[in-house]
Amino acid sequence: MYRKVTSVTYEEFISEFFPGESTELAESPAPSVLSHLPIRTLRKRTTTSSKATTQKSRNSSCNLFSRMPTPKSDAGMYQKLSSAINKAKICDGFTFVSTPHTGKAGSDAEKSREVDCGMYPNSVLDQLKIASHSKFSRRRRTDWSLVEIAVECHLNGADDDPFDETIDVDEPLSEGRRKVLDQVLYCAERVFQHQHRTCQYLLLFVGKFARMVRIDRSGIFAAERFDYREDGAKLVTFLRSYTRCSPADRGHDPTAVRLDPESDEAKRMKARVENVLAVDYAGQQFKASLAPEWPWWQLEVPDEHNDHKKQHFLVGKPHFQKSGVLGRATRGYVALDANDNLVYLKDAWRIFREDIDQEGATLEALRPHKIDFVPTLICHGDIPGQEAKTQALWPKYHPEEHCHLKRHQHYRIVVEEVGKPLEEFENGLQLLTVIFCAVYAHSQAYKNGIIHRDISDGNILLYQETPGGDWLGLLTDWELAKQVAHQPSEGQQFGLTGTWAFLSAKILNNHSKTTVIQDELESLFHVTLYMALRFLPNNCMESEVPRLIHNYFDDYAVRSNGEHICGIEKRTAMSLGRIDISGYNIDGSCGSLRFLWPGEKCTHPLDELFRTLLSWFGAYYTLARMPAPDDVMLDLEEENTKEPEDTHIPADDGFVVQSLAHTGGTDDNSTNPGRGMAKHSLTGLQPPSLEPSNASPAVLRATRLERQKQRHQEELEREKRYRTELEKLAKNLETHDPMLQEIIKALEKGWPPFDRCENREPKNGWVPRRI
């Protein structure tokens, strides 16, 4: 959430998001509130001298919370606030419902984070589930698919306010504030997951203070807090303004229609899976999505390549849903089209920039080339009028700063293929087959001028051309792809593009770097390595694999300016051309990572492939660190013009160090980018005689200078041979063909049929121990 929250005054909040309402609305109480006041108070005439006193008295009398009993707990706070608002009858068509969690449903984490109050439309009150199996007899439970506004209450006071504008920090520092912020984001995420929203509002009560919060996919706006017991009119204004708005203005997506369980559409969905075959993956996934506790929807998708005609698709529970509140918020559905075909629908808030094409436009451009292992486009388009608003408003409230927020546009795309997550591969042979398909698809797209730029484990899927057929690979999610010719020049790239865990070390160290083919091939390697580490046998201690995965894929270093860059494990592996695991085994043995045949000490077919690819990357990164040949020549020429400082050549003139550098100096020369080169030794090299010479000083200087030139010439020759070997290895990364050939070579070997292990990565990732 770093720098994603903007604090504004209450008046600015109402003006920006409810422009048709006036902040003076609450100064004259709603009729339902007036009815609770004494008639003589309402009709009393006031003089000029008593206007201020009368107005203060009126506001105090009209305040919904001025006489509310002081709650003694968070649960009591929810109940008393709900009761006060409902009695005032200011939310026409809506009711606040207190929903204290029952203590039994869900995991411990879910129970502790369950919101205990929300505003619901009156039309859905009878649908709220009753928790009658606990001591909270007949208490309703939160329904994330129906709640209109979530309400978060904390009795502890202002010290737990995560949006406190009086503290000049971008992130809440105290544990209490962080806990409340996490709870707010959790509520927002659950609403976004269960509903189709362009934005949402949330009420936060902290002690005697309240504030309104608006969240969309670009960021958060928080109104300044106010004492709701003294200034409850502000809350009245907000609630009356909100409930008068149309559903679209309240953040509901009008292109998503929730289906009644007894509707014709819902019946058609259930009929489609009545006799689905066990080998029909798409059918089985659609059947699983028809969860009765999850809302079903009819989604509208514009077709930008067909006169913007609209198509409609029926969906249940998402097949995939990206976690988090901000960002692209991608979710995928196995969907039913108008002809009862099962297709894949992706709903996302794409990054909207002139230099980034729609994913559908990229697939449309690839279609004429008939590229294998790429999704087949059905329709796609931006959802009209649905763009995140926070990014557009941010410069107004930060005029002196550059806007770092991304512009997000709601977008949907439908393709024919329904894929299975890569992590569900059956064995190593199938994994590498899928990776081959992805590399091949990437190569064909690249030959036709398009580069993917977001290679990740989630963007490579398994799919069947026919139910029960062989599993192949599918390279998906082309939303960040670009035409190679139109890529931004070095330094012009707008921030980091791609998925952190699988980006190349070079891009992680230089976020404005232009993506080139070597970066993409490295990302494909990282994806393969990630899956192999999780599911295939290797020589790293099983208990240490989660730490290795974290350090290699998720870790980062921090520059002095606060910028995050590549973590040390990935950077070192790319530089050395091998993955050192000596720090992950108790005895420090097994210096390099190896993949093994199950139950045997012999290597796995993937092992040689990894070693070969790592040697290429090691050479590529080593060349990047080496000075240019011309610079080396200039340095040697400059050195040759210097007078020798000593009267003899030292026995160790750096030759040993140079030799070790050229041969790797490691215990594992098989992974050294320069393996196979002739090793250098000191045989035949003897220091010159130290006996006094009768030659003249001029002759001695000339002799020493000649010897120095000879040594430098030999050093230059060694440098050239070393560079030549590195260039030969690194050249394999200039096209896709060498990697494809190495994969084919590996696929043709004998493979163990049952080499898949249990997942070694914890569900929520590896967490470092506290010392």
Phi and psi (nearest 5°) for 500? -50, -50
pLDDT at 676 over 60: no
Q: Is the dihedral of CA 101, 104, 107, 112 positive or negative?
A: positive
Distance CA 329, CA 347 (A): 8
Tokens 């249990």 identify what position? 758
Phi and psi (nearest 5°) for 475? -90, 110
In this predicted structure, what is the pLDDT of residue 46? 39
Distance CA 224, CA 211 (A): 6
pLDDT band of 635, cuts 50, 70, 90 = low
pLDDT band of 168, cuts 50, 70, 90 = low
Distance CA 632, CA 715 (A): 10
In this predicted structure, what is the pLDDT of residue 347? 98
Burial class (CB in 10 A: 0-12, 13-18, 19+), 175: exposed
Contact yes or no for 314/259 (Cβ under 8 A) = yes
> In this predicted model, which residue has the larger pLDDT, 433 or 681?
433
Out of 159-173, 190-204, 342-356, 591-605, the most confident range is 190-204
In this predicted structure, what is the pLDDT of residue 487? 79
In this predicted structure, what is the pLDDT of residue 591? 87
What is the tens place of the pLDDT at every residue in 522-532?
A: 999 999 999 99
Q: Give 728's contacts (C-beta < 8 A, 6+ positions apart).
A: 619
In this predicted structure, what is the pLDDT of residue 556? 94
- Count other Cβ atoms within 10 Å, centred on residue 335: 28
In this predicted structure, what is the pLDDT of residue 99? 79
- Count other Cβ atoms within 10 Å, centred on residue 22: 14
In this predicted structure, what is the pLDDT of residue 601? 77
Amino acid at 68: M
Contact yes or no for 294/316 (Cβ under 8 A) = yes
DSSP-assigned states of every residue in 636-657: HHHHHTSPPSSSS--S-SSHHH
β-bridge partners, 412 = 347, 381
Residue 671 CA from chain centroid, whole number? 32
Instruction: Tell me which of 15-29, 136-150, 228-242, 275-289 is least confident.
Output: 15-29
pLDDT at 495 over 50: yes
**Helix orientation angle between 697-730 and 605-625, rounded to the nearest 10 degrees:** 140
Q: Give 299's contacts (C-beta < 8 A, 6+ positions apart).
A: 196, 255, 256, 312, 313, 314, 315, 333, 335, 345, 347, 412
In this predicted structure, what is the pLDDT of residue 637? 57
Q: Give 627's contacts (C-beta < 8 A, 6+ positions apart).
A: 635
As a whole number, mean pLDDT of residues 425-434 equals 98
Q: What's the whole-model pTM score?
A: 0.82
Per cent of the chain over pLDDT 70 is: 79
Distance CA 111, CA 202 (A): 19
Q: How far is CA 159 from CA 164, 258, 395, 604, in A?
A: 9, 40, 29, 57
Q: Is the dihedral of CA 360, 362, 368, 373 positive or negative?
A: negative
In this predicted structure, what is the pLDDT of residue 493? 58
Nearest to 462 by CA among 315, 282, 613, 609: 282
> In this predicted model, which residue has the larger pLDDT, 326 or 69?
326
Contact yes or no for 585/571 (Cβ under 8 A) = no
Q: How far is CA 306 from CA 111, 254, 311, 354, 454, in A?
A: 48, 21, 11, 22, 28
pLDDT at 468 over 50: yes
What is the tens place of the pLDDT at every residue in 70-92?
A: 777 777 778 888 888 898 888 99
> In this predicted model, which residue has the larger pLDDT, 568 or 590?
568
pLDDT at 663 over 80: no
> In this predicted model, which residue has the larger pLDDT, 101 or 422?
422
In this predicted structure, what is the pLDDT of residue 98? 86
pLDDT at 630 over 80: no
In this predicted structure, what is the pLDDT of residue 113? 54
Mean pLDDT across the chain, nearest whole number? 83
pLDDT at 405 over 50: yes
Distance CA 98, CA 435 (A): 51
Locate 658 and state its tokens: 């140079």
**Paired sense of beta strands 471-475 and 482-483, if any:** unpaired
Locate 216 and state its tokens: 């969309």
DSSP-assigned states of every residue in 440-484: HHHHHHHHTTEE-----GGGEEEEESSTTS-EEEEE---TT-EEG
As a whole number, mean pLDDT of residues 438-461 equals 97
Per cent of the chain over pLDDT 90 is: 60
In this predicted structure, what is the pLDDT of residue 461? 98
Nearest to 233 by CA among 394, 69, 65: 65
